[in-house]
Structure 1
Amino acid sequence: MKERAQEVKAEARARAGREEGERTIKAAIAAMPAPDRAMAKRLHEIVSENAPALMPKTWYGMPAYADQDGKVVCFFQAASKFKARYATFGFNDAAQLDDGAIWATAFAVKELSAAAEKKIAALVKQAAG
């Protein structure tokens, strides 16, 4: 019974963490200028659908998604953050994207076409393991 009580408490903490992460990430997205906001909102949907085990959070004020150990797996960086000409969707070393001796860890994103969404979804699934 003690073990089950601990499990229930852990599940409640995880739910509370996910709910807080969702609130935080949605607030960060809402604060972005229009082009970045739309892209970040859609990327949030893609990550949530394709890697539901990743925990939403903010990282340097930007939307990010962490594994069970709290390590950021992937993140979005709005173009407006650094006045860049494109947004960035990237992966940290916790992502399981290893492919030989060299592989991409960040992608410039100017728009989310159907093909881009499909590629990002596949990368997120792979990164989350």
Structure 2
Amino acid sequence: MSDTKSGFSADERAAMAQRADELRSTKGLKGAAKLAKELEACAEAIDALGGVDGDLARAVHRIVTELAPDLNPKTYYGFPAYAADGKVVVFVQPAAKFDTRYPTVNFTEDAHLDDGDMWPVSFAVVAVTPAVDERIRTLVAQAVA
């Protein structure tokens, strides 16, 4: 539901403003300085999350760090995200961000999840269990293969 003439809700406008801030915060930075700033922003985004949102973000961070250390942590519209060559591959969308029922772990078109003519790229998570952890591990490994 939109609440403005632009067609975007207040939450959507806030996310777009947050993305613009993310881009401005690394403007002019290169190499290790840019990566360090992006890692710091990702860690802060994860630390700010509670409940299942935080559990999922910490699990994805741990899994990416272990299985795909070449992915660089950053934020993407305020979400904890991981990128290769500047392109986001996987990110966590917390439920709290848009007041939804559950957080999701999402993969972009740069993830290598292709499977025939149709495949999932977004996964709802209501609890981070050992089975969920293993499924995320499998998806991250496939995404970067």
User: Same fold by TM-score, threshold 0.5 exceeded?
Assistant: yes
In structure 2, how many angstroms separate the alpha carbons of the residues matched to 1:91 and 1:38? 18
In structure 1, how many angstroms separate the alpha carbons of the residues matched to 2:32 and 2:143? 22
Task: Give structure 2 stretches of 5+ with no counterpart.
Answer: 1-29
SS at match of 1:102: coil
SS at match of 2:82: strand
SS at match of 2:42: helix
SS at match of 1:86: coil
Contact 1:57 1:64 in 2 (8 A): yes
Q: Does 1:114 align with 2:133?
A: no
Q: Which residue is equivalent to 1:17?
A: 34
Superposition misfits of 4+ residues, deviation over 6 angstroms: none
Q: Which amino acid aligns with 1:106?
A: S
Q: Does 1:44 align with 2:44?
A: no
Q: Please report how far the alpha carbon of residue 28 of structure 1 lies from its aligned counterpart in structure 2 after TM superposition.
A: 0.9
Q: Please report how far the alpha carbon of residue 64 of structure 1 lies from its aligned counterpart in structure 2 after TM superposition.
A: 0.6
Contact 1:97 1:123 in 2 (8 A): yes
SS at match of 2:133: helix
The 5-angstrom pairing of residues 1-129 of structure 1 reads: 14-68=31-85, 70-129=86-145
How many residue pairs end up in the alignment? 116
Q: Which amino acid aligns with 1:124?
A: V
Q: TM-score scaled by structure 1?
A: 0.83
Q: Which amino acid aligns with 2:143?
A: A
In structure 1, how many angstroms separate the alpha carbons of the residues matched to 2:127 and 2:51? 13
